[in-house]
A = this chain, B = another copy of it.
Amino acid sequence: MGRPGLNRSAVIAAAADLADEMGFDAVTISVLARHLGVRSPTLYSHISGATDLRTAVTAYVLDELADTTSHAMAGEGRDLLVAYADAIRDFARRSPGRYDATTRQRIPPTSDPAAEIPASVAAAITAGRRNADLALTVVRSYGIAETNETYAVRLMSSLIHGYITLEIAGTFAHSEPPSEATWPEVLDDLDRTLTRIAAAQRH
């Protein structure tokens, strides 16, 4: 039934690829349409507007990231931490536009019960939770108790995300040693801290 052509998934995937080439902000409806060989209004058959497109890309990319990360995760404790953090960093360096999408798109608070939640927002929330669960897995593998879980996840996420963000922004490019060299040290110190948190609770 109907004529075959673009579909929503193809449009979103193309947008994610474009984001890696030109930056997340540069992915406009017009640019994306030109890249796909159609006129701008055509895309409105597949997406409901620019913000829907961005949110959908965010959800799509968050799912990709969770897939990649969970596939790379193996071992326990320090090994698991390194596998987890390297997977995220590799993803961000390989696909900076995609990584940007995971952070740049602000999901409004769900406090308003009357407001209808668009499907793309719901998908982004679900995919975000998938990634949060992976972080939780790493922390739990250190034997950190439930009381400290949230804290440990926030500490670990902040450090990993912060380092990757500043690294991609070029903040580390103007001083020695190269960013590549200090990353393992960061993970070493993060490992020590997570170990300390786990040890401190079994008094």
Interface positions of A (Cβ within 8 A of B): 103, 106-107, 109, 150-151, 154-155, 157-163, 165-166, 169-173, 175-177, 179, 182, 185-186, 189, 192-193, 196-197
**Known A106-B170, A165-B162, A177-B150: A193·B182 in contact at CB below 8 Å:** no
| Number of copies of chain A assembled together | 2
| Cα separation A158 to B189 with both chains bound (whole Å) | 13
Complex contact A158–B169 (CB within 8 A): no
Q: Residues of B contacting A196 with CB < 8 Å?
A: 189, 192
Specify the chain B residue showing the minimal Cβ separation from A106.
Answer: B169
Q: How many Å from the CB of A198 to the closest CB on chain B?
A: 13
Q: Residues of B contacting A193 with CB < 8 Å?
A: 189, 192-193
Complex contact A158–B163 (CB within 8 A): yes
Q: Residues of B contacting A197 with CB < 8 Å?
A: 189
| Cα separation A107 to B173 with both chains bound (whole Å) | 11
5 smallest CB-CB distances across A and B, nearest first, come from: A162-B162, A158-B162, A158-B163, A161-B162, A159-B159
Complex contact A161–B150 (CB within 8 A): no
Q: How many Å from the CB of A146 to the closest CB on chain B?
A: 11
Q: How many Å from the CB of A169 to the closest CB on chain B?
A: 6
Given A154-B182, A165-B165, 17 more contacts at CB 8 Å?
A107-B170, A150-B182, A151-B182, A154-B163, A154-B172, A155-B159, A157-B166, A158-B159, A158-B186, A159-B162, A160-B162, A162-B162, A162-B163, A189-B196, A189-B197, A192-B193, A192-B196
